[in-house]
Amino acid sequence: MERRNSKTIWIIATVVVAALLGVIAYAVTMNRTKTDDTALKAQDNSNQQEINKPDTTENTKAVTISFTDQGFAAKSYTVKVGDEVKVENNSSMQLQFSSDDHPTHTEETELNLKVLAAGESVSFIATKVGTWGFHDHLHSQYTGELMVTE
């Protein structure tokens, strides 16, 4: 009887593990496709910020993402390719504006900015079309998304 029970337990456990491994395999495949180009670019993107400095002579629009002590002022922001995105730290804490996912920041590395002290701001130009999640790496509960359109 005990042997039979043990067998049942192992069958159940095997089914559960197999199902979960299936989910992982699917998710890994999904993840790999998405991060194909960016998998090895997890480090801070501050050099790129220099290259992508807003060109004030062009006819670009600007959107400001404000960060306060309660998090980002809006959940979603929309810009067009070539528009300037300004991130303002209006909170009393430090802000490390980062692309999703936490903590690897590989979704869109253009969004990985340097650490901003209270009152500081930084700008970059949106160059890739898509919907990019972002968060504060230092307080990852604060999130939002940036929609970059054609």
Partner 1 sequence: MKQWVRNNFSLTEWLVGGSVTTLAVLAWAFGTGSSGTLSLLKIFPVFGLVAFGLMWSHYTVGTLRRWSGYERRGKDTYWAVSAGLILALIILHPVLLNISLIEAGLGLPTSSYFAAYGNVDGWFVVLGTIALLVFLSFELHRWFRNRQWWKWVEYAQIIAMVAIFIHGTKLGNETTYSWYMVVWWGLAVTLLFAWVYNWRYDKAHLPRR
* Residues of this chain that bind partner 1 (CB under 8 A): 5, 8-9, 12-13, 16-17, 20, 23-24, 27-28, 30-32, 34-35, 39-42, 100-107, 131, 133, 140-141, 143, 145
Q: Is 44 exposed, middle or buried (0-12, 13-18, 19+ CB in 10 A)?
A: middle
Shortest CB 71 distance to partner 1, Å: 10
CB 31 → partner 1: shortest distance, Å? 5
Minimum CB–partner distance for residue 109 and partner 1 (Å): 10
CB of 56 to partner 1, least distance (A): 31
Nearer residue to partner 1 within complex by CB, 16 or 81: 16
Non-local (6+) Cβ contacts of 106 within 8 A are 35, 38, 39, 41, 42, 99
From the centroid of its chain, how far is CA 140? 10
Q: Please answer whether residues 141 and 103 qualify as being in contact, where contact means their C-beta atoms are separated by less than 8 angstroms.
A: no
Local structure of residue 101 (DSSP, 8 states) = S
